[in-house]
A and B are shown apart, each in its own frame.
Chain A
Amino acid sequence: MTTTLIPVVAALVLLTAVYISWRAGRLDRLHIRLELARESLDAALVRRTAVALELAASRLLDPATSLVLAAAAHEARTAGPEEREHAESDLSGALRAVVDQERFRDRLADTPAGAALLEELGTAVAKVLYSRRFYNNAVGVTRTAQRRWLARTLRLAGHTAYPDFFEIDDAPPKALGVE
């Protein structure tokens, strides 16, 4: 009796082990994807702030517009983790207010330096939009995977924190023609 049971039990143990390691491997991959997505989101936000500051300092704008942009970009750059979502949303709002001014785009596009800045701003704004959506997708899958019974019981996620969505208003200025 016991002699027939041993291989069965051994096989069961082996299968369970394989399954658990497969699930752990999957979670590990998801964490790597999440980290990369977070990095590219951070890079995109930093870049957008930099372009906004450059535009503010370009002497192509009137001083009031420059100040609106520079102030919002400065807030975004210096915000702590708690205020970051707010500050980045405010920068989106400032960019819309500035770029969607009547004839702003046409006037800026008249100079070579202005045209280059517009192009750069378009790219930066689009990348924030894209990377944030990709990051939130990664957060969604990772959260679902971490919440699974097996992952919780065996602590497959290790010390990795339960990830948070990054929620900001990133609607681009209409005049940039992004999305």
Chain B
Amino acid sequence: MRIGIVCPYTWDVPGGVQVHIRDLAEALIKEGHQVSVIAPAADNAPLPPYVTSVGRAVPVPFNGSVARLSFGFLSAGRVRRWVREGRFDVLHVHEPAVPSVGLLACWVARGPIVATFHASFERSRTLSVTTPVLMSALEKIAGRIAVSDAARKTLVEFIGGDAVLIPNGVAVSRYVHAEPLPGWDGGEVIGFLGRMDEPRKGLPVLLEAFALLAADRPKLRLLIAGPGDAREVLDRVPARLHDRIGLLGLVSEEDKVRAYHSVDVFCAPNLGGESFGIVLTEAMSAGAAILASDIPAFRKVLGDGQAGALFATGDAGALAREAAALLDDPHRRAKLSDEARQAVRKYDWSTVARDVLRVYETVASTAGVEEDDVP
């Protein structure tokens, strides 16, 4: 099949949607399909051979945060040319409700269009106000995919209609084997991965719990990987504990895998908003014993606590109690680790790509994707 995939966010800036598209494209290419991805990218950014740049993206405030988006007639023209020259059997647009390349692609193309919705939110003023504007573009989408129940609920509430659920994939084999990071292969280690300065990731809850635990457990250390201001993190814990906290900052893909293998308990203290626990499935692939907050997305991925322990969201006391119980019980940790490795298989990209392909085949027609003459 000839497949055109549209990425709304800058390719060379790490993000969940970009990683999703990269892994999907590579899984489809491995299956023998011809895949072309169009995405915003910096002028000199190194791109894989299957990615076409639509030009630089501009930072704009959108739906409560700043997103790097690509829009305007120039971008629309480039997307149009890509559609015309690609002669795709199926066009797969990601986040078509975001004012970026995805929406442009819906505008300039017609034929079998599939869209994947990633984001989930409780309230969206932007989306409810802009829905009429989006309608004529969204009406062209023949098949809709949501990556989580939360994303599907958001879609049903703000745009209407339904979608099929195909969860995010994880490249399981990338995470299975790795050496622990130097200096982190002994004692008791709790790990965290994610932006330190984004409150929804819940790092403050973990720091509070760590201060509670560290008093009784002299060997306990905390490993934190992710971008953000180190000062701000250390200010939240007593100074005497500072040398027991390792701040790695933004890590390479390789060090990230090693970090998962360096911890005794991997903690995901998110407060909500996570449409899918990509970090969680990575940790599961690495076989980490997981302790996660009890938000619906995590509960689902962890099979109601079978493949990882859950604690009351936002409750540092509960986190500390559960973490202590896990650290004291190597058998339970080993069991959780085994269950996690089992449970994560259904999220492997080979499974997910097969399901996505079934959607493509469902909407595909003989005419394929064409350039739309209107407007």
Contact = CB atoms under 8 A, between A and B. Distances in A.
A30 B346 CA distance: 36
Contact of B358 (A25, A130, A137): A130
A30 B138 CA distance: 11
Contacts of A138: 142
A126 B358 contact: yes
B142 A126 contact: no
Contacts of A126: 355, 358
Interface string A144-179: 000000000000000000000000000000000111
A43 B140 CA distance: 21
Given A126-B358, A127-B362, A134-B362, A33 B142 contact: yes
Interface string B329-357: 00000000000000000100001000100
A133 B358 contact: no
B157 interface: no
Interface in B102-158: 110, 136, 139-140, 142-144
Contacts of A179: 164-166
A133 B144 CA distance: 9
B374 A131 contact: no
A167 to B, nearest CB: 13
A30 to B, nearest CB: 7
B162 A130 contact: no
A134 B144 contact: yes
Q: Tell me the interface secondary structure of chain A in the complex.
A: helix
Given A36-B365, A127-B362, A134-B363, A30 B162 contact: no
A25 B142 CA distance: 17
Given A130-B164, A131-B362, A133-B163, A177 B140 contact: no
A141 B358 contact: no
B161 A141 contact: yes
Contacts of B143: 130, 134
Q: Tell me the interface secondary structure of chain B in the complex.
A: mixed
A45 to B, nearest CB: 12
B149 to A, nearest CB: 11
Interface residues of B, number: 24
Given A126-B358, A134-B363, A30 B139 contact: yes
B56 to A, nearest CB: 33
Contacts of A134: 142-144, 362-363
Nearest to B361: A127
A29 B363 contact: no
A37 B359 CA distance: 12
Which of A25, A26, A134 is packed against the most chain B CB atoms within 10 Å? A134
A136 interface: yes
A99 interface: no
A140 B138 CA distance: 13
A29 B365 contact: no
Contacts of B166: 179
A44 interface: yes
A40 B90 CA distance: 15
A141 B143 CA distance: 13
Interface in A113-132: 123, 126-127, 129-131
B160 interface: yes
Contacts of B164: 129-130, 133, 179
A140 B362 contact: no
Contacts of B365: 36
A26 B136 CA distance: 8
Contacts of A131: 362
A48 B273 CA distance: 38
B140 A136 contact: no
A112 to B, nearest CB: 19
B125 to A, nearest CB: 23
Contact of A137 (B110, B136, B162): B162
* 5 closest Cβ pairs, A-B complex: A137-B161, A130-B362, A131-B362, A126-B358, A134-B143
Interface of B: 110, 136, 139-140, 142-144, 160-166, 346, 351, 355, 358-359, 361-363, 365, 374
13 contacts: A25-B374, A26-B139, A29-B140, A127-B362, A130-B143, A133-B163, A134-B142, A134-B143, A134-B144, A134-B363, A137-B144, A137-B161, A141-B161
